[in-house]
Chain A
Amino acid sequence: SQQGEEDPQALSIQEGENATMNCSYKTSINNLQWYRQNSGRGLVHLILIRSNEREKHSGRLRVTLDTSKKSSSLLITASRAADTASYFCATDPNTGNQFYFGTGTSLTVIP
Chain B
Amino acid sequence: ETGVTQTPRHLVMGMTNKKSLKCEQHLGHNAMYWYKQSAKKPLELMFVYNFKEQTENNSVPSRFSPECPNSSHLFLHLHTLQPEDSALYLCASSQGLAGGQNEQFFGPGTRLTVL
Query: Across the interface, do B45 and A45 meet the contact criterion of CB distance under 8 Å?
Result: no
* A1-47, CB < 8 A from B: 3, 30-31, 33, 35, 40-45
Q: How far is the CA of A45 from the CA of B94 in the complex (A)?
A: 11
Q: Does A68 contact B (CB under 8 A)?
A: no
Q: Does B70 contact A (CB under 8 A)?
A: no
Query: Across the interface, do A103 and B40 meet the contact criterion of CB distance under 8 Å?
Result: yes
Query: Across the interface, do B41 and A103 meet the contact criterion of CB distance under 8 Å?
Result: yes
Closest to A48 in B: B103
Count of chain B residues near A, Cβ 8 A: 31
Query: Across the interface, do B99 and A88 meet the contact criterion of CB distance under 8 Å?
Result: no
Contacts of B88 in A (CB 8 A): 40
Contacts of B48 in A (CB 8 A): 97-98
Binds A, one of B14-22, B72-80, B106-114: B106-114
Contacts of A94 in B (CB 8 A): 99
Q: How large is the interface on A (under 10, 10 to 19, 20 to 34, 35 or more residues)?
A: 20 to 34
Query: Across the interface, do A101 and B90 meet the contact criterion of CB distance under 8 Å?
Result: no
Query: Across the interface, do A33 and B97 meet the contact criterion of CB distance under 8 Å?
Result: no
Closest to A46 in B: B103
Q: Does B104 contact A (CB under 8 A)?
A: yes
Known: A42-B90, A43-B90. A96 touches B98 (CB 8 A): yes
Contact of A42 among B2, B41, B55, B56 (CB under 8 A): B2
Contacts of B34 in A (CB 8 A): none
Q: Does A54 contact B (CB under 8 A)?
A: no
Q: Does B61 contact A (CB under 8 A)?
A: no
Known interface pairs A35-B106, A42-B92; 7 further A-B residue pairs with C-beta atoms within 8 A, sorted by A's residue number: A42-B6, A45-B104, A88-B43, A92-B102, A96-B99, A97-B55, A101-B35
Could you tell me which A residues sit within 8 Å of B by CB distance? 3, 30-31, 33, 35, 40-45, 48, 50, 88, 90, 92-94, 96-103
9 tightest CB-CB pairs across the interface, nearest first?
A42-B106, A101-B43, A45-B103, A97-B97, A43-B106, A92-B98, A42-B108, A97-B55, A103-B42
Could you tell me which B residues sit within 8 Å of A by CB distance? 2, 4, 6, 31, 35, 40-43, 45, 48, 50, 55-56, 58, 88, 90, 92, 97-99, 101-109, 111
